[in-house]
Chain A
Amino acid sequence: MSGKVTAVTTMLGPATAAENTTRPTRYRHIQQGVRERLAPYTYVAPFFLLFFVFGLFPLLFTFYVALFEWDPIGEHHYVGLANFSQLVHDPRFWGALRNTFSIWVLSTVPQLLLALGMAHVLNHVRLRAATLFRMSVLVPYITSVAATTIVFAQLFDRDYGMLNWFLQLLGLQHVDFTASVWASNIMIAVMVAWRWTGYNTLLYLASLQAVPRELFEAAAADGANGWKQFRHVTIPALRPIIAFTVVTSTIGGLQIFTEPLLANTVGGLTCGAARQCQTLTLFLYEQAFGRFHFGYGAAVGVALFVMTVIVSAINYLLVTRIRSERP
């Protein structure tokens, strides 16, 4: 595979040196002509090669593997739809689906609202050090999920975490953030939201800056205060980008894996004895690479794929509706 990729690049190399060949001119011209005609295809070939081998084929093959009881180091035999009927009766699957959904809601809603507010604040024209502020809200984005999870797990720790210390100052009880479904889902949602709020803020800010200032000024002249401007100018202008961020955070939400794996330090692949924070992707990993049930894991993959397609389809409908609403 890497051989083929380097073959493509070395094929491109000699083209520049073609003038130096000692072959007869006519032959050289033909050779160069063929090379020139093939050039566009060799330029786009790496993508198609990689996409077929590592993208499309594995995706289709997932459906095939899901029809088998498949041990990666042993036998595999055909079981039809047995993996799927097991899946719909598996409380572990439904639990993981519930966690995935609740983490998604708990992270996406506050995150996007916060990003909207932050973009509105950052949009002040004469703000000093605008670039510095924009860069600092992007710091969480360049911090890896693994590092983010480790620092937040420490901040949320039951015994010596800073958050529980605050709760105690407020006269509240300590919370074991890894113990229950709600607490652990909230903890993971905070990690997700922290990492993506600044990024979404910049997307919103970019759209906001495309709104003509006259629109805000006209609204102000009509006596619209900050909130009314936000409600009647900012939100409508941002509708398409809001739809986009909802979809990307949904598709991202279906793939949440590292946070539940690392957040519960004693939880292992199930994120706790009661699977209180195991997400669908972590469930897939546990089945395939923890227990070597490749077939069953692939069935989880198919379920995830179907959900992603549904989300994208809903998005497509929403976007076309938004487009038709706005002239």
Chain B
Amino acid sequence: MNPTRSTTTPASRRRRSVNRVPRVVYALLGVMVLLSVFPLYWMFVVSTTDSATATSLPPHVLPGGNFLHLARLVFDTVPFVRALINSLIVATTIGVGQAVLSALAGFAFAKLSFPGRNALFLFVVLTMTVPAQLAVIPQYLIMSKLGWVDTLQAVIVPGLVSAFGIFWMRQHISNTLDDELMHAARVDGATTWQIFWRIAFPLVRPAALVLGLFGFVYAWNDFLWPFIVLKSPERYTVQIAIKALQNNRDIDLGLAMSGSFLATLPLLVLFAFVGRRLVQGIMEGAFKG
């Protein structure tokens, strides 16, 4: 990354001129950051002001003192605490499920030999091209047969493991887990499950964590499917609660904005801690499109 350390040759001088960052680059970056962050900032501003200020022109770009009032209105209009808990349950279960179940299947495909392994893995890879999310109508019919309509498991269970997750974990496990280590464990009498849980999984924990985080973010933000299967307000996830707040905009124009801010805040806090890992994950190919 730092080829400019040796300074004498002409080549390195040229390199340095290539590497110098012009001011205009920082200006462009400033614009980029502003455009990326401003809508969120605006969400926050509107959720701290009263309707008159929020709708005045030229716009007030500084936060006001109305945050608690609006937040209380949000909690009074829909069961928002319940919605936050529901979202936390859904997103955590899906995140953990994605990490563990994908790692488990990835481990089997990477390190265990069993009849049909290659065919099954090819099948897993092929399913990635199947747009199953278009099949919401039969999915709904299945859920109603199971009696799962208006329950959280209708949102959780279909998302517990993914083809991509298996593919991703298989790659990491075959690159990290040494065959000799596995053999040694076997000689010592370890079962397959023990090899997975005590050796393979700890080795790939960073990759599994990234996968779980993407699963968490995806589940927290998902809209269409929860909107279809969750009917009663006590079952809403935060995203569906936001929609309900928007339907009540006659109460206060800032209601939906305040709800949106409150629904985004937990992810922003999480992002402050793990954002670096998510950036790395995307750049290493952990796409979750």
Contact = CB atoms under 8 A, between A and B. Distances in A.
A and B: real partners?
yes
A50 B14 contact: no
Nearest to A61: B138
Contact of A126 (B19, B142, B166, B268): B19
B77 interface: no
B2 to A, nearest CB: 8
A142 B36 contact: no
B96 to A, nearest CB: 12
A150 B132 contact: no
Interface string B146-165: 10100001001110111100
A40 B135 contact: no
A144 B223 CA distance: 8
Nearest to A248: B289
Nearest to B29: A133
Contacts of A126: 19-21
B25 A127 contact: yes
A122 B191 CA distance: 48
B260 interface: yes
B89 interface: no
Nearest to B24: A121
Interface residues of A, number: 100
Contacts of B217: 142
Interface in A202-244: 202-203, 205-206, 209, 213, 216-217, 220-221
Contacts of B130: 55-56, 59
B275 interface: yes
Contacts of B203: none
A2 B192 contact: no
Contacts of B199: none
B136 interface: yes
Contacts of B104: 43, 46
Contact of A142 (B127, B157, B271): B271
Contacts of A51: 127, 132, 163
A159 B278 CA distance: 38
A136 interface: yes
Q: Interface on chain A toward B: helix, strand, loop, or mixed SS?
A: helix
B70 interface: no
A136 B224 contact: no
Contacts of A308: 131, 134
- The bracket for how many chain B residues form the interface is 35 or more
Contacts of B285: 206
Contacts of A12: 193
Contact of B279 (A50, A138, A217): A138
A16 B57 contact: no
A216 B3 CA distance: 14
Contacts of B114: 37, 40-41
A194 interface: yes
B182 to A, nearest CB: 13
Contact of A131 (B136, B267, B279): B279
Contacts of B268: 139, 142
Contact of A39 (B129, B142, B193, B278): B193
A65 B127 contact: no
A65 B3 CA distance: 63
Given A2-B153, A289-B228, 12 more contacts: A2-B156, A15-B193, A36-B191, A39-B108, A54-B157, A133-B29, A138-B278, A144-B242, A198-B36, A203-B283, A288-B136, A301-B135
- Shortest Cβ-Cβ A-B pairs, 7 listed: A58-B138, A58-B135, A144-B221, A147-B260, A55-B132, A61-B138, A160-B55
Interface of B: 1, 3, 11, 14-15, 17-21, 25, 28-29, 32-33, 35-37, 39-40, 42-43, 46, 54-59, 101-102, 104-105, 107-109, 112, 114, 117, 120, 124, 127, 129-142, 144, 146, 148, 153, 156-158, 160-163, 166, 191-194, 196-197, 217, 220-221, 223-224, 228, 239, 242-243, 246, 249, 256-257, 260-261, 263-264, 267-268, 271, 275-276, 278-279, 282-285, 287, 289
18 contacts: A1-B157, A36-B192, A46-B161, A47-B162, A50-B158, A50-B161, A55-B127, A58-B139, A59-B135, A124-B25, A125-B19, A139-B37, A139-B268, A142-B268, A209-B283, A248-B289, A252-B289, A258-B224
Interface of A: 1-2, 5, 12, 15-16, 18, 32, 35-37, 39-41, 43-44, 46-48, 50-51, 53-59, 61-62, 65, 72, 118, 121-122, 124-128, 131, 133-140, 142-148, 150-152, 154-155, 159-160, 162, 165, 194, 198-199, 202-203, 205-206, 209, 213, 216-217, 220-221, 248, 251-252, 255, 257-258, 261-262, 265, 281, 284-285, 288-289, 294, 297-298, 301, 304-305, 308, 312
